[in-house]
Amino acid sequence: MKNKKGESIQIIILTVISVLFIAPIVIVFMNSFKSKLFINSTPFAFPNADSFVGLANYGEGMIKTGFLQAFFITLFITVASVFLIVMLTSMTAWYLVRVKSRFTKVMYYLFAFAMIVPFQMVMFTLVKVSNMFNLDNLIGIIFIYVGFGAGLSVFMFTGFIKSIPVSLEEAAMIDGCSIMQIYFKVVFPVIRPIIMTVAILNAMWIWNDYLLPYLVIGSEYKTISVAIQYLRGGYGSIDLGLMMSMLVLAIIPIVIFYMICQKWIIQGVIAGAVKGYYTRNYFQKNVCREYRRCRLLIFRLEHWNGMVHICLLGLTESSQKNCLCEWQKK
């Protein structure tokens, strides 16, 4: 009985917290279908026959803000920045983990320090430097985002890569893989969960960012966040109906991206929490499948002494010996 009461209390508390988090989004969505007069007077009321304007706010807002152009500019910056952040920082983290030297230790602490420094401390210097080196354009701001996103991304990748047994990479090296083949055909598939976690975090940050695009590229290339701010009129007047409708359109793409990547994000969180070990199912679904795809190694699962032994059998003439990798059985 006590356990049931405790579970009921937890469910009630979590439900209340969920409602508090979702309520602002619901209010924005609800007011996006109301005229601005009724939004100011009754912001928490549902649309009725008098206040409901249908999709008029959405159509007018897209015209006034140039939403389609801003959408594609934001999409280009976000996709390019996230791609470069994921590729460059994952390679960097792999290098920092596998190469043990003073240089790699110093570099790791520099990345960790860069993660702590707030943007506001360097924004004026950044604007000056970006103007000096002609980075105040669509291509330049991508490299600026890579610099700001590198700290957290390297930190997350490093923690995950430490849990990958180095014997897996050694087996691929014995089979004749080059460094790039080891990374893209062995390491990269294994770190896919944390890749999706890093991608969604950086995508949410870059997609919703206002200050950096406003300072660096200004009004020449308007992102969605910058374009929405231009709905503010003189003397502080704001058409809340148009602004809220554009906020809804700005939220939808990142929500869809999160829902698509949700499975891998959860895997990344779980795998990062259980550091140093992989379950048999995780190995079979991720590592083994990628080995079959690259056709470099074949293998079989064997069990003895409470361990899962993955016997990697080389296909090339130069490596006829079996390479054994061990994972603790969960």
Q: Where are the chain's structural domains?
A: 2-54, 61-278, 282-328
The predicted pLDDT at position 71 comes to 93
Residue (of 205, 217, 198, 188) closest to 254 by Cα position: 205
Total residue count of the chain as it appears in this document: 330
Question: Which residues are within 8 A (CB) of 237 and not within 5 positions of it... i.e. 6 or more apart?
Answer: none
Do 214 and 204 meet the contact criterion of CB atoms below 8 Å apart?
Answer: no
Q: What is the mean pLDDT of each run of 10 residues along the chain (330 residues)?
A: 75 91 89 85 83 87 89 94 95 92 92 85 85 88 92 91 85 85 88 88 91 85 88 72 89 86 67 45 48 41 41 40 40
What pLDDT is recorded for position 80?
96
Instruction: Write the single-letter amino acid at 225.
Output: S
The pLDDT of residue 267: 64
pLDDT of residue 255: 87
Buried b / exposed e over 19-52, threshold 16 CB at 10 Å, is eeeeeeeeebebbbbbbbebbeeeeeeebeeebe
Helix, strand, coil: what percent of the chain each, to 5? 70, 10, 20
CA angle 308, 313, 319 (to 5 degrees): 135
Give the pTM: 0.76
pLDDT, position 236: 63
pLDDT score at 294 = 40
Determine the pLDDT at residue 95: 93
Q: What H or E segment, with its residue span, contains residue 303?
A: strand 297-304
pLDDT for position 153: 93
The upper half-sphere exposure of residue 109, i.e. CA atoms within 13 Å in the direction of its Cβ, equals 5
| Residue 70, Cβ density class (10 Å: 0-12 exposed, 13-18 middle, ≥19 buried) | buried
**Are the beta carbons of 187 and 94 closer than 8 angstroms?**
yes
- Provide CATH code, domain 61-278: 1.10.3720.10
Cβ–Cβ under 8 Å, residues 275 and 162: yes
